[in-house]
Structures are given as C-alpha cells and as structure tokens.
C-alpha cells in the first residue's frame, strides 16, 4: 500500500514554488489537478504547516506527501547521448547537433530535454534548459543544474544579459558595411506547428552582422543577436535576399541539405563559452576566421569550451 513520504528539500531544489517541486518529485504521471487538491486540503505539509501552491520552499524544509498511486511513468528516451562543452555546479553547456529538437512534443520522440532527463534520472533537480534553439540550428545550449541557476539564467536571457554570437552561411554576396545593424518588426503568423515569421509588424528584432567570407555565391556572416525573437536570424537575413543555406522554411524552396546556422559563443556573467561549428568541406570555418567573428563581442574572456564526448 502507498505510504506517506517525507522529503527534505535539497540545495539544488531550493527556491522553487511548492507545486513545481512536487511535480518534479512525484513518480509517474500525476495530474496537476490532483496535486493542487492535496495542497488545498492540507494533505501536503511543509515543516508540518500548510502552504499555498505558489509559496516557495527552501533547502532543509521537510515536505509531507500523502499516499498516492503513481500513474504510468514515461520511459526515458534513449535516442542517444549528449556532448557537454562545459559543466560546473550551476551550468551545463551542451553541443546541440542540427536536426535534434530541443523539447519533445507531438511526433517528436527524441529531444535534448529528453536526453538530459535520461542522463540524470536520479538527480534531485534534473538539469533544465534555460533557452531554445531551432531544431535545425546547431551550437551551444545552456541548462541549469539547480533551480537558483535556472532562475538566474532565465532572467539573464529575458533581460538581454547574455551575449550571443552565431555563424551562418547565406546565399549571395554580403555587401553591407563592416558592421550592419538589422532592425525589423517581426510577427508570427499561421497556426501552431506551422507558424512562420514575417517582417513589417510586431516586436522589434535587433541583430548586428559582419561578413567574414563574402563570395558571389555564398557568404559566411557572424551575427550578434541582440534580441531573441522566433526565427529572428533566419527571417532577417532572408528578408534581405540572403537566406541561410539549408533553410527550407525561409529559403524559397531552393534549399537542400542541413541548415548552416550555428550558435558559436555565449557569454554569461563574464564566462565565455565557445563551440566551433561542425561543418566540413566547403563549409568549414578556419580558426582565424572564428577569431574575427569574436570581434563582434566586446572584450574577451579566457574560458573556452572543450567538448567532453561520450555523455
């Protein structure tokens, strides 16, 4: 028979809202409505006292969970591992490959989030992604190793406190100034799952672009992303006649092969992480070219990412 559980809040979980803590800790699929009912009726206690669903809990507090029968637990994804570029007590930096979705959903059985959960099945606080990349974009993706770090990263991304540098191969010869500021109004259109973004109205998107290699057929550009709108880089470049190579959504149907858009560098709280793109052949980027791309970020830090294979 199910029994009452008493769980001590760990340091990694500290600061969460009670409802979210319970959802992370409960085994199997337990409906949120059931958890809210437990809290409302006083079946959930924190240090023997009643709490509301959105009250925050702290390390060392003891949470009483009433007896319950776990629902069916979703099996851990086994689509593959992940390569870590950097890991410390607060942050994991993941080398996301092109083609792998960040989160699961309808028709998506393999994702970065699912692989993370499979890698850390017994963690008090499973590493949680702090931002997104488009499915066909490769590069750096940050996850928080504890709840305090997750709150900090979420705020940093939302407030523009993260420096973001991307590399992209685009069609045509980029002839703009050495540093071109792209300013557009961007708006989502269409039904969920098939949405596109168009310029002309909506929220402002800002990005700074410089050409690293400018040929007649293709150009390699570095993009410092100032805002973080959906599909922003892809839309802003395509609207100027330079769609990202391999972008089938905004490339007017001419594109084939993988998309050549890569998150190369992220800087958070003075920590700089970099990841060279995995491109080969005609799309390979020389080290000195990567150095020129970094000039778009003001100043330089010494910490660089070194991939750890086999995760």
CATH number at residue 38: 3.10.290.10
pLDDT digits (tens, 9 = 90+) for 193-249: 678 899 988 999 999 999 999 888 999 999 999 998 999 999 999 999 999 999 988
Into how many domains does the chain fold?
A: 2
Per-residue model confidence (pLDDT) at position 80:
75
Report yes or no on 168 lying in a domain. Answer: yes
For the ranges 27-31, 57-61, 157-161, 187-191, the lowest mean pLDDT is seen at 27-31
Query: Who's near 25: CB < 8 A, 6+ residues apart?
Result: 7, 65
- When pLDDT is averaged across residues 65-90 and rounded to a whole number, the result is 78
pTM value? 0.83
CA atoms within 13 A on the CB side of 303: 13
Per-residue model confidence (pLDDT) at position 253:
67
Strands (E), 118-269: 128-129, 138-144, 162-171, 180-189, 196-199, 203-214, 218-225, 261-268
- When pLDDT is averaged across residues 75-85 and rounded to a whole number, the result is 74
Q: Give the whole-angstrom CA distance, residue 88 versus residue 268.
A: 13
Model confidence at 148: pLDDT above 70: yes
Q: Which of 65, 82, 112 is the last residue of a domain?
A: 65
Domain holding 275, by residue range, is 162-296
Is residue 163 annotated as a catalytic residue, yes or no?
no
Domain check: are 57 and 176 in the same one?
Answer: no
Q: Give the whole-angstrom CA distance, residue 74 versus residue 51.
A: 29
Report the chain's C-alpha Rg in angstroms: 22
Domain check: are 59 and 166 in the same one?
Answer: no
**Percent of the chain, pLDDT > 90?**
68
Model confidence at 255: pLDDT above 70: no
Report yes or no on 150 lying in a domain. Answer: no
The domain that holds 279 is classified in CATH as 3.30.2350.10
Residue 254: pLDDT band with limits 50, 70, 90:
low
Report yes or no on 74 lying in a domain. Answer: no
Report yes or no on 247 lying in a domain. Answer: yes
Residue 304: pLDDT band with limits 50, 70, 90:
very low
CA angle in degrees (0–180, nearest 5) for 249-252-255: 75
Domain check: are 167 and 57 in the same one?
Answer: no
Domain check: are 277 and 169 in the same one?
Answer: yes
Domain check: are 48 and 166 in the same one?
Answer: no
Residue 78: pLDDT band with limits 50, 70, 90:
low
Q: CB atoms < 10 A from the CB of 114, how many?
A: 22
Structure tokens given for 54: 């959105």
Candidates 102, 93, 100; CA nearest to 149 is 93
Q: Which of 47, 65, 83 is the last residue of a domain?
A: 65
Domain check: are 50 and 172 in the same one?
Answer: no
Residue 301: pLDDT band with limits 50, 70, 90:
very low
Report yes or no on 37 lying in a domain. Answer: yes
Report yes or no on 308 lying in a domain. Answer: no
Q: Which of 65, 91, 106 is the last residue of a domain?
A: 65
Higher local confidence (pLDDT), 70 or 94? 94
Residue ranges in the chain assigned as alpha helix (H): 18-25, 32-40, 112-119, 147-158, 232-238, 287-293
Model confidence at 309: pLDDT above 60: no
Q: Give the whole-angstrom CA distance, residue 92 versus residue 142.
A: 6
Model confidence at 141: pLDDT above 80: yes
Report yes or no on 19 lying in a domain. Answer: yes
Of 90, 110, 134, 298, which is the active-site residue?
134
pLDDT digits (tens, 9 = 90+) for 151-179: 999 999 999 999 999 999 999 999 888 88
Candidates 85, 149, 78; CA nearest to 119 is 78
Report yes or no on 201 lying in a domain. Answer: yes
Candidates 122, 95, 119, 112; CA nearest to 12 is 122
Contact 264, 274 (CB under 8 A): yes
């Amino acid at each position: 028979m199910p029994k009452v559980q008493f769980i001590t809040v760990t340091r990694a979980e500290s600061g969460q809202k009670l409802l979210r803590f319970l959802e992370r800790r409960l085994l199997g699929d337990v409906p949120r409505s059931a958890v809210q009912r437990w809290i409302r009726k006083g079946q959930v206690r924190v240090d023997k006292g009643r709490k509301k669903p959105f009250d925050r809990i702290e390390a060392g507090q003891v949470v009483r969970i009433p007896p319950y029968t776990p629902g069916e637990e979703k099996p851990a994804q086994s689509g593959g591992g992940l390569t870590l570029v950097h890991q410390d007590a607060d942050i994991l930096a993941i080398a996301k490959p092109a083609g792998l979705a960040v989160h699961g959903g309808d028709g998506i059985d393999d994702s970065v989030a699912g692989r993370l959960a499979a890698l850390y099945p017994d963690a008090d606080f499973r590493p949680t992604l702090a931002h997104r990349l488009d499915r066909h974009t490769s590069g750096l993706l940050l996850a928080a190793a504890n709840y305090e770090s997750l709150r900090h990263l979420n705020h940093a991304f939302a407030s523009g406190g993260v420096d973001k540098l991307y590399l992209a191969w685009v069609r045509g010869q980029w002839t703009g100034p050495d540093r071109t500021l792209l300013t557009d109004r961007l708006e989502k259109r269409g039904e969920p799952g098939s949405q596109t973004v168009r310029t002309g109205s909506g929220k402002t998107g800002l990005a700074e672009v410089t050409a690293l290699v400018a040929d007649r057929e293709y150009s390699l550009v570095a993009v410092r992303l100032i805002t973080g709108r959906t599909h922003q880089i892809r839309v802003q470049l395509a609207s100027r006649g330079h769609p990202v190579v391999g972008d089938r959504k905004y490339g007017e149907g001419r594109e084939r092969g993988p998309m050549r858009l890569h998150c190369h560098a992220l800087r958070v709280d003075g920590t700089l992480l970099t990841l060279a793109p995995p491109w080969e052949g005609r799309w390979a980027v020389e080290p000195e070219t990567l150095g020129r791309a970094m000039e778009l970020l003001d100043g330089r830090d010494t910490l660089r990412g070194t991939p750890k294979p086999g995760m």
